Amino acid sequence: MALRKIRTIGDDILSKHCREVTELKHRQRVLIRDMLDTMYESQGVGLAAPQVGVLRQIIVIDVTEEGDSPIVLINPQILELSGEQTDQEACLSVPGKSGAVTRANYAKVKALNEKMEEVIIEGEGLLARALQHEIDHLSGVLYVSKVEGELLDVEKE
């Protein structure tokens, strides 16, 4: 298991656009493994490559309580959004904070999987929120720019 350092708000890399992945080389496979390890270790539900300092279009998500259903998406593109949900959102790159964000309640996303095969992922609720949040990271957007009202301090457990 290898953990990567999570970049935090204020780091320029978080506001940059990520490049597409055209070929999955060993280096990117290691990156994906490390991103999953880092996400689980930090008890996050998602992580995008720029959060660990790599400007590539790769995201990982796992919204299950068991934490045994990782979703790896390469070059993800939103095909469809519908409905609306407002809920507290947080980000491993904005430690100790959360804020209310309104997002679509349903998202349909096209991407490549770890075998570079095209996949379609559909999600509602938390999964739809995580998809939108992580895909935003790939174009340099943090949820804090979408927060309604105050960014709140989260109590440490």
CB under 5 A: which stretch of 33-41, 86-94, 96-104, 108-116 binds Zn ion? 86-94
State residue 13 phi and psi, 5-degree precision.
-60, -25
CA gap 53, 12 in Å, rounded: 10
Q: Which residue is nearest to Zn ion (CB)?
A: 91
Is residue 65 flagged as an active site residue?
no
Q: Which CB atom, from 88 or from 116, has the smaller least distance to Zn ion?
A: 88
Residue nearer to Zn ion on the CB measure, 117 or 128: 128
Q: Does 52 participate in binding Zn ion (rule CB under 5 A)?
A: no
Applying CB under 5 A, the span of 34-42, 52-60, 85-93, 144-152 interacting with Zn ion comes to 85-93
DSSP-assigned letters across all residues of 20-46: PP-S--HHHHHHHHHHHHHHHHTT-SE
Which positions ≥6 away from 102 have C-beta within 8 Å? 84, 85, 86, 146, 148
Q: Does 91 bind Zn ion (CB under 5 A)?
A: yes
Count CB neighbours of 143 within 10 A. Answer: 23
Kindly list the distances between the CA atom of residue 39 and the CA atoms of 63, 102, 142, in Å, as whole numbers in the listed order.
Answer: 11, 23, 17
Shortest Cβ 25–Zn ion spacing (Å): 25
Closer of 74 and 91 to Zn ion (Cβ): 91
Given the complex with Zn ion, which of 46 and 75 has the nearer CB atom? Answer: 46
User: Least separation, in Å, of the C-beta of 15 and Zn ion?
Assistant: 13
Taking the complex as a whole, the smallest distance from the CB of residue 88 to Zn ion amounts, in Å, to 13
The answer to whether 91 touches 99, Cβ cutoff 8 Å, is no
Using CB under 5 A as the criterion, which residues of the chain lie in contact with Zn ion when the complex forms? 91
Active site residues: 134
